[in-house]
Structure 1
Amino acid sequence: MARPAEAAGAAGVQVLRDRGRTYWVLADCWNVVRRGLTHYQRQPINIVWQLGFPILSVLLYGYVFGSAMQVPGGGDYRDFLMPGMFVMTMAFGFINTATLVVYDSTKGVIDRFRSMPMSPSAVVAGRGVTDLIVACAELTILMLTALAMGWRPDGGFAFLGAFGLLLWLRFALIWLGVWLGLLVPNPEAAGGLFAVAFPLTMISSIFVAPQLMPDWLGHVAAWNPISSTAAATRELFGTPVGGGDTWIEEHALLMAGVWPVILTLVFVPLAVRRFQKLSK
């Protein structure tokens, strides 16, 4: 007869086996999330640094250049600017994602994950969930800062929809950051991704309405996925939209939901496939 301790141990192993693949994928994902949040807890300066640039941009564009800026259709430029700042913070987040991923890759952390019986999708998803939680904290802090500066949304409870669209954009761009982080060779190269993010945000409706740009540049800015989210959140916040008469601008709410779906469908498979192809 088996001893009680041996029987209990065998029963425990059987329970673990019966939990199935889905349970272990979720468990692995949660462990990666907990690891990422622990790093932020021990180094809160990282979040402060991520918020520093958009806050400085608000002060620069809102108070230094704000009096010279115009909003088509009228309205206060600072009210027009603030939703754009929220969008810019979400858009720039993919650089932080890429930097953290490449740091783990060069320090051997990802190799350690790959040597364990962990699901590749759980490792990638864990990074994404961590960044989404951090994005919620960033948005909350940035909105409180905007309120302290006198910004007041007039959309009522629609601001919850705007908050959701901002996180939806961030969720989609996380996978772009994961994929780029697995491609670039070192953290210094990841810092060069600002060369990609800067024109991506500047040629959009974050700072200036596309109608105020040259015709060809205005069309490019209007079809920028970031512009759709910026216009949609302005509409939901009840702030000046500065919208134009093109199809993409008239359907900003629709496209603010569609663009992130397209980005996610493109970059999630690329990120998982790249992770699977890493050399051991």
Structure 2
Amino acid sequence: MTTTLTERAMPLPAATTTPTTSSFWRQAVVLARRSLIKTWRTPEALIDVTLQPIIFLALFTYVFGGAIAGGSQEDYLQFLLPGLLGQTIAMASVSLGQNLNADIEKGVFDRFRSLPIARSAPLVGAVMADLVRYLILFTVMVGVGMLMGFDPASWTGVLGALVLAMGFALCFGWISVYIGMIVRTPGAVQGIMFLLIFPLAFGSNVFVSTETMPGWLQAFVTVNPISHLVSAVRGMMLGGPVGNNVVWTLAWMAGLLAVFLPLAVRAYRKRA
């Protein structure tokens, strides 16, 4: 059978063309959306960024505020709320390592390896989804605090505190990622992270001024990264000095990234 000139001139079918893969950031965004959809379908996973901060804020303000602040719960609320933001955002990062560990144990990452995506896209997507959790936490706490009587000095300062707190949480979260990659179960991730976070949270200036503590504890509080974050957030939200504490907070963020980002990525490559 002879081939006509028209048939020879026809283009190849579209099915024979080489498929293209999506960009890395598109892959990460899709996987971040997956994490958020999973959280939306299990709303109890948001307890640590919704109900828990409200309980902490109400408990310390109305139960301990009068004793700590000498009877003025309103004044203590002004002092407490910026401090709790630093503590609860650090505690919220625990879920990042837990979720990654659970996905690996369930075999989800085996499926990811079979897809035409970058190997690091699931990790970046999980971190991006966690930033949404931090934003929810910040919004809930500031909103409830204002209903209780919290009065920020300026909304510009509140937005600055939001950026700084979320940036710190993003850097601190790499500790959770690293722990999640080296331990066997999500429960172990939670236990180890709480052992780390509780001394940092309560051995800081979150709940009381540093001057009220014994000298040996003051030495620890003054170098605690949570203390510097809390002081910077307080200064931004209430109109106090911020320069020195912001510098120290940024230095701690850089140190956390320099140490735990490479460790987390290396452990992720071995495990996932």
Q: TM-score, normalised by structure 1?
A: 0.85
Structure 1 letter corresponding to 2:262:
P
Say whether the 8 Å CA contact 1:120–1:272 is kept in structure 2: no
Quote the offset at 1:119 in angstroms.
2.1
Q: How does 1:126-275 map to 2 (within 5 A)?
A: 126-192=125-191, 193-238=193-238, 251-275=244-268
Say whether the 8 Å CA contact 1:136–1:167 is kept in structure 2: yes
Rounded Cα–Cα distance in structure 1 between residues aligned with 2:36 and 2:12: 37
Rounded Cα–Cα distance in structure 1 between residues aligned with 2:203 and 2:122: 33
Quote the offset at 1:70 in angstroms.
4.4
Quote the offset at 1:28 in angstroms.
2.1
Quote the offset at 1:257 in angstroms.
2.2
Q: How does 1:93-108 map to 2 (within 5 A)?
A: 93-108=92-107
Rounded Cα–Cα distance in structure 1 between residues aligned with 2:10 and 2:85: 62
Rounded Cα–Cα distance in structure 2 between residues aligned with 1:196 and 1:28: 32
Say whether the 8 Å CA contact 1:182–1:274 is kept in structure 2: yes
Quote the offset at 1:202 in angstroms.
0.7
Root mean square deviation of aligned Cα = 2.3
Say whether the 8 Å CA contact 2:204–2:224 is kept in structure 1: yes
Quote the offset at 1:155 in angstroms.
3.1
Say whether the 8 Å CA contact 2:84–2:206 is kept in structure 1: yes
Quote the offset at 1:3 in angstroms.
5.7
Q: Which residue of 1 aligns with 2:57?
A: 58
The 1:48–1:2 alpha-carbon spacing in structure 2 relative to 1, beyond 3 Å, is farther
Unaligned runs of 5+ in 1: 18-22, 244-248
Structure 2 letter corresponding to 1:194:
F
Structure 1 letter corresponding to 2:112:
F
Quote the offset at 1:250 in angstroms.
7.2
Q: TM-score, normalised by structure 2?
A: 0.87
CA deviations on 1:169-205 (whole Å, 9 max, x unpaired) are 1111221111111112112212313222211211111
**Is the counterpart of residue 76 in structure 1 residue 75 in structure 2?**
yes
CA deviations on 1:191-226 (whole Å, 9 max, x unpaired) are 313222211211111112222111121121121111
Quote the offset at 1:5 in angstroms.
5.9
Say whether the 8 Å CA contact 2:204–2:210 is kept in structure 1: yes
Q: Which residue of 2 aligns with 1:122?
A: 121
Unaligned runs of 5+ in 2: 1-7
Say whether the 8 Å CA contact 1:166–1:229 is kept in structure 2: yes
Percent identity, aligned pairs only?
31
Say whether the 8 Å CA contact 1:211–1:218 is kept in structure 2: yes
The 1:214–1:116 alpha-carbon spacing in structure 2 relative to 1, beyond 3 Å, is same
Rounded Cα–Cα distance in structure 2 between residues aligned with 1:2 and 1:54: 69
Structure 2 letter corresponding to 1:146:
G
Rounded Cα–Cα distance in structure 2 between residues aligned with 1:227 and 1:2: 73
The 1:107–1:3 alpha-carbon spacing in structure 2 relative to 1, beyond 3 Å, is farther
Q: Which residue of 2 aligns with 1:20?
A: none
Rounded Cα–Cα distance in structure 2 between residues aligned with 1:175 and 1:236: 25
Q: Number of matched residues? A: 261
Structure 2 letter corresponding to 1:209:
S
Rounded Cα–Cα distance in structure 2 between residues aligned with 1:237 and 1:254: 17
Rounded Cα–Cα distance in structure 2 between residues aligned with 1:264 and 1:210: 27
The 1:211–1:2 alpha-carbon spacing in structure 2 relative to 1, beyond 3 Å, is farther
The 1:202–1:130 alpha-carbon spacing in structure 2 relative to 1, beyond 3 Å, is same
Rounded Cα–Cα distance in structure 2 between residues aligned with 1:167 and 1:140: 12
* SS of structure 1 residue aligned to 2:143: helix
Rounded Cα–Cα distance in structure 1 between residues aligned with 2:127 and 2:251: 19
